[in-house]
Amino acid sequence: MTDAAPAPGGPAAGAGDGLLPAGEDTQPARPGADAAPLRLRLLQTDPVLGDVDGNLWRLDAEVRRARDRDLVIAPELATHGYHLSEVPDAAPLDPQDRRLQALGSHGPAVVTGFAEAFRHHTFNSAALLDGEDPRIQRKMYLPNYRGWEERKHFRPGGRLHCFDLLDTRMAILICNDAWQPAVPWLAVHGGAEVLVVPANSAVSEVGVPTSRAWEALLLHAAVVLQAYVVFVNRSGQENNRDFWGGSRVYHPSGEVMAALGTEPGYLDVDLDLAELRLLRRRWPLLQESRADVVARQAAALAAEEY
């Protein structure tokens, strides 16, 4: 893998059900103004479909090369590839699998997408690995239209988690989850300062080119929710689909801090958490969530649907 230069104008620098954060997820990160920068490495990989051992081996090698980073982030389903219906022998992983857990043993914490085995179910999940018990986010919104058939192969998750890591709080929005406006809103009002978005986005259209739609929704989340947004897409080809890469980090100002192109590679970016907290104090856009209003309206909508 190769490093990437900053984009012009920007400096490089457990599982469950119910949508709102709960349990240990309810305490926001410390708002210290003197927080150290969070040092990220984005891995834009090209996993081999069904080669779980090989993909894990390659991820492990990349994490070992990132020992000076705080957090390494790989794409959605980085351990398995996307079109799992083509490789039925590629077994999902238990979160306690030693090969998966080993990724978090080299120094930096790691976020990686994987197919998760749970009893007789399979989830499209992301694991936060930092030497402790894996912390898991399951994809909640599974696309099931045109050529996307995730609902046939995965069970949807039912809870959004916020995770404390070092001196910040983060949430993981797996690909299509980031397209649902309520999800990043819930994450940020649950205390998240960093939104991590692992994706498997291929060249396509949804009325506009998918890459353009991603730009709009990631920019909106960064500015309106005053958060760092870290988008990590895969690259390469699989099952006659071209994955366009474009991994990047958005500053809360809307600036793209740094970005990759279409090829496999890695990108190092440092997030200034003290700057973010100062912005949120100066411009308190998040001061009043009115979660009571949102909850009532959501309950009324659910009653109408069912």
Query: Which residues lie across from 41 on neighbouring strands?
Result: 72, 268
User: Whole-angstrom distance between the N-terminal and C-terminal Cα of the chain?
Assistant: 49
Count of alpha carbons within 13 angstroms of residue 235, beta-carbon side: 15
Q: Count CA within 13 A, CB hemisphere, residue 283.
A: 10
Work out the angle at residue 172's Cα, subtended by the Cα atoms of residues 168 and 177, and round it to the nearest 5 degrees.
145
DSSP secondary structure letters along 161-186: -EEEETTEEEEE--GGGGGSTHHHHH
Helices 291-305, 182-189: crossing angle, 10 deg rounding: 140
Give the pLDDT of residue 32.
Answer: 55
Dihedrals φ, ψ of 114, to 5°?
-160, 160
The whole-number pLDDT of residue 30 equals 52
pTM for the predicted model, two decimal places? 0.90
Q: Which helix (H) or strand (E) holds 238?
A: strand 235-238
Give pLDDT tens digits for 183-240. 999 999 999 999 999 999 999 998 999 999 999 999 999 999 999 999 999 999 999 9
Transcribe 247-273 into DSSP letters.
-EEE-TTS-EEEE--SSSEEEEEEE-H
Sketch the domain layout of the chain as residue ranges: 23-305
Which residues of the chain carry a pLDDT beneath 50? Answer: 2, 5-24, 26
Select from 261, 293, 183, 264 the least CA-distant residue to 229. Answer: 183
Yes or no: domain 23-305 corresponds to CATH 3.60.110.10 = yes
pLDDT at 31: 53
What whole-number distance in Å separates Cα of residue 188 and Cα of residue 194?
8
103 sits in the region (left: phi over 0; alpha: psi -120 to 50; else beta) called alpha
Instruction: Name the pairing type of β-strands 248-250 and 256-259.
Output: antiparallel
Q: Are 231 and 218 in contact (CB under 8 A)?
A: yes
Residue found under tokens 């909850």: 295
